[in-house]
């Protein structure tokens, strides 16, 4: 059953300076739910009071309360001036609940209020602390769009753009054993204004397991990946800029100007170095072995990526692929590289820190190289090793890079063993908290994770013994009262019926600017021993207690 709720908010007070009132200005609002959660908006649902809050750029709220049992479902919102970038927040409460428990939440994409115009607002609301199947707007959806990805994908890049849309690029499809059989050159856009996916009318170079970095210019820098399997993956060292709103050249080739070894399953990290450079580390090379090489991309004059410069950096101490690389908040140390598959084909527990420290006393880089602002190198922090070797794990920056949480991964190259331990890397002294940092509910590799605004972390899906998992959990940080640093995590599963709706590994995740999290694609199992890439898209709806 696909029910939805739609009404028009009438009588907007359009009192902006220099503007006449316009009685014909309306805001049409559609509320609807993910598939399977239709009862949230029914008269018999858990909430009998719906709160709608509209905020403009000045942050001043205008609030309307709706009786969810009223069949007319009409509201009058006053006090909205003409303006841009309004947002609508929707929450469901029970009127008799003194604790003001939020049962469902949703928020719109930005919209404008103009004289004589008519804003059409679509808000998908879902059960809080729960994952629901994405559904495109029943009333306002665009022609040719879909609820899920247009194409089955794994190994794609997922990038949230400055305007809130999400770019899904490339990736691959697999056979029943999970081996890549096709590499994709298509791209899609997820538009949160209508919760819909649309295939873009132009193509990029075919690539999978590449990197995609959002640059300050708003363009996306694609690098590396493999372009085909023949019979093994054939990696590339090409780069492209994607600017989806450029009507002339939405896809541009980017010359490197230096020799860079082809690679996939590398890492790209946007550094906080005052120059917005991107650090590329490791990856699987053309011979199938992990790489130690690293390089950086510096956007060009006035931030023009097409005029950027590529510079080789000093090698890492350990070749690695399927590792993590995260920004850290430290004066001259800009990123921490953790774990991965090493040169002997085994998982590594090693940690390296990328430094641009120009102090002549700096020691510890490969070949005793001296780092500079342009050419950095990697040092091994004293005692800085993980408690467990791991690869295909995931990492989340805490407090902007003050700490980094490391979770999951495989302990053996053939994926025969997994780890469920959590570890925390501290940026201030580059120490590692291993004992007592917490444990995932299930050991698994190729899981997805993302940090939320409230400081918690979602750990989604993964793979164990070749089998995709639907397990979904939430990590809540426990902090030291004196320093405020996270010392460990409490891990809890999602409530029954609130996790992933199908088992998957290699899931792509993106934080939307309304607080929800988009989860899509990956590899699922139709039945035991039969794998297939997924096109499914789901949304996690957070519990927003304060707006």
Q: What mean pLDDT comes out for the span 495-521?
A: 95
Check pLDDT > 50 for residue 22.
no
Check pLDDT > 50 for residue 255.
yes
- State phi, psi for 119 to the nearest 5 degrees: -80, 140
Check pLDDT > 90 for residue 99.
no
> Which percentage of the chain shows pLDDT scores above 70?
93
- Tokens 């410069």 correspond to what residue? 309
Closest CA to 134 of 120, 154, 117, 148: 148
Give the pLDDT score at 5. 52
pLDDT tens digits, residue range 437-476?
999 989 999 999 999 999 999 999 999 988 999 999 999 9
- State phi, psi for 40 to the nearest 5 degrees: -60, -35
Give the pLDDT score at 526. 75
Q: What mean pLDDT comes out for the span 190-194?
A: 97
Check pLDDT > 70 for residue 336.
yes
Helix (H) or strand (E) holding 458: strand 457-460
Of 98-102, 354-358, 468-472, the least confident: 98-102
pLDDT tens digits, residue range 520-544?
999 999 777 799 999 999 999 999 9
How is residue 272 written in tokens? 């906080």
pLDDT class of 71 with cuts at 50, 70, 90: low
CA distance 439 to 421: 4
The pTM of the full predicted model, rounded to 2 decimals, is 0.94
- Spell out the residues 6+ positions from residue 333 whose beta carbon is closer than 8 angstroms to its own: 353, 354, 355, 357, 379, 427, 430
> How many helices (H) does the chain have, and how many strands (E)?
0, 46
Check pLDDT > 80 for residue 118.
no
Q: Are 27 and 121 in contact (CB under 8 A)?
A: yes
Among 76-90, 112-126, 420-434, top mean pLDDT goes to 420-434
Q: What 3-state DSSP class applies to 367?
A: helix
The domain at 157-541 falls in which architecture? 6 Propeller (2.120)
Concatenated DSSP letters of 432-474? EE-TTS-B-SS--BS-EEEE-TTS-EEEE--EETTEE---EEE
Does the bond joining 351 to the residue before it have cis omega, within 30 degrees of 0?
Answer: no
List helix spans (H) across 323-435. none
CA distance 147 to 136: 5
pLDDT class of 305 with cuts at 50, 70, 90: confident
Check pLDDT > 80 for residue 370.
yes
Mean residue pLDDT of the chain comes to 91
- State phi, psi for 39 to the nearest 5 degrees: -70, -15
Q: What is the largest CA-CA distance in the chain?
A: 75
How far does CA 507 lie from the centroid of its chain?
10
Give the pLDDT score at 287. 95
CA distance 451 to 174: 29
CA distance 144 to 328: 43
Query: Could you tell me which residue, 475 or 16, shows the higher pLDDT?
Result: 475
CA distance 112 to 230: 51
Closest CA to 282 of 315, 239, 251: 315
How is residue 219 written in tokens? 């363009």
DSSP 3-state helix, strand, coil percentages of the chain (rounded to 5)? 0, 45, 55
Check pLDDT > 60 for residue 14.
no
pLDDT class of 546 with cuts at 50, 70, 90: confident
Q: Are 519 and 508 in contact (CB under 8 A)?
A: yes
What residue segments make up the domains of the chain, in order of their start? 4-128, 157-541
Give the pLDDT score at 2. 37
Check pLDDT > 70 for residue 18.
no
Give the pLDDT score at 72. 62
Among 40-44, 116-120, 280-284, top mean pLDDT goes to 280-284
Check pLDDT > 80 for residue 243.
yes
Check pLDDT > 90 for residue 309.
yes
Give the pLDDT score at 17. 27
Q: What mean pLDDT comes out for the span 388-408?
A: 97
Per-residue b or e along 328-356, where b marks 16 or more CB atoms closer than 10 Å to that residue's CB = bbbebbbbbbbbbbbeeeebbbbbbbbbb
How is residue 525 written in tokens? 């199992």
CA distance 162 to 165: 7
Check pLDDT > 90 for residue 413.
yes
Q: Which numeric CATH code is attached to 4-128?
A: 2.60.40
Check pLDDT > 60 for residue 16.
no
Distances (CA, A) of 348 to 40, 323, 384: 47, 9, 12
How is residue 161 written in tokens? 């753009």
CA distance 40 to 33: 7
Give the pLDDT score at 23. 47
- Tokens 């805001």 correspond to what residue? 27
Check pLDDT > 80 for residue 204.
yes
Give the pLDDT score at 74. 64
pLDDT tens digits, residue range 81-93?
778 889 999 999 9
């Amino acid at each position: 059953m696909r029910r939805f709720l739609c009404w028009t908010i009438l009588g907007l007070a359009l009192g902006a300076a220099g503007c006449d009132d316009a009685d014909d200005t309306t805001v049409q609002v559609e509320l609807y739910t993910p598939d399977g959660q239709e009862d949230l908006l029914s008269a018999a649902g858990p909430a009998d009071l719906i709160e709608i809050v509209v905020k403009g750029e000045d942050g001043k709220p205008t609030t309307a309360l709706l009786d969810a049992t009223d069949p007319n479902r009409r509201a009058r919102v006053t006090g909205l001036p003409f303006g841009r970038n309004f947002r609508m927040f929707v929450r469901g409460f029970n009127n008799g609940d003194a604790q003001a428990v939020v049962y469902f939440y949703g928020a719109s994409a930005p919209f404008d209020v103009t004289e004589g115009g008519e804003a059409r607002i679509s808000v998908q609301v879902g059960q809080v602390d729960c994952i629901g199947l994405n559904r495109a707007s029943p009333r306002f959806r665009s022609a040719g769009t879909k609820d899920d990805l247009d194409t089955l994908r794994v190994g794609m890049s997922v990038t949230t753009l400055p305007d809130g849309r999400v770019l899904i690029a490339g990736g691959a499809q697999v056979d029943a054993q999970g081996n890549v059989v096709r590499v994709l050159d298509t791209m899609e856009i997820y538009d949160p204004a209508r919760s819909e996916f649309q295939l873009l009318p132009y193509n990029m170079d075919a690539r999978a397991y590449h990197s995609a970095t959002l640059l300050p210019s708003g363009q996306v820098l694609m690098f590396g990946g493999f372009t085909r399997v023949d019979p093994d993956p054939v990696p590339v060292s090409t780069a492209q800029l994607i600017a989806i709103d450029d009507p002339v050249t939405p896809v541009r080739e980017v010359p490197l100007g230096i020799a860079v070894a082809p690679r996939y399953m590398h890492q790209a990290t946007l550094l906080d170095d005052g120059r917005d450079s991107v650090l590329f580390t490791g990856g699987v090379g053309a011979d199938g072995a992990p790489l130690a090489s690293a390089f950086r991309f510096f956007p060009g004059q006035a931030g023009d990526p097409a005029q950027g410069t590529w510079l080789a950096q000093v090698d890492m101490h350990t070749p690695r692929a399927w590792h993590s690389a995260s920004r850290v908040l430290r004066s001259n140390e800009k990123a921490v590289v953790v774990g991965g598959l090493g040169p002997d084909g085994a998982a590594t527990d090693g940690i390296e820190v990328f430094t641009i420290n120009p102090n002549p006393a700096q020691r510890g880089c490969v070949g005793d190289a001296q780092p500079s602002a342009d050419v950095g190198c990697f040092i091994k922090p004293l005692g800085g090793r993980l408690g467990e070797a791991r690869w295909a794990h995931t990492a989340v920056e805490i407090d902007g890079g003050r700490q980094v949480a490391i979770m999951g991964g495989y302990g053996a190259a053939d994926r025969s063993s997994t780890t469920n331990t959590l570890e925390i890397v501290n940026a201030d002294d580059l120490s590692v908290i291993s004992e007592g940092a917490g444990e995932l509910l299930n050991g698994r590799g190729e899981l997805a994770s993302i940090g939320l605004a409230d400081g918690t972390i979602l750990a989604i899906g993964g793979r164990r013994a070749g089998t995709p998992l639907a397990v979904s959990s939430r990590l809540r940080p426990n902090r030291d009262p004196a320093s405020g640093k996270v010392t460990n995590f409490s891990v809890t599963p999602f409530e029954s019926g609130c996790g992933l709706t199908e088992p998957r590994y290699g899931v792509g995740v993106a934080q939307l600017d309304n607080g929800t999290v988009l989860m899509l694609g990956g590899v699922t199992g139709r039945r035991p021993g039969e794998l297939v890439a997924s096109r499914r898209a789901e949304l996690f709806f957070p519990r927003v207690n304060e707006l």
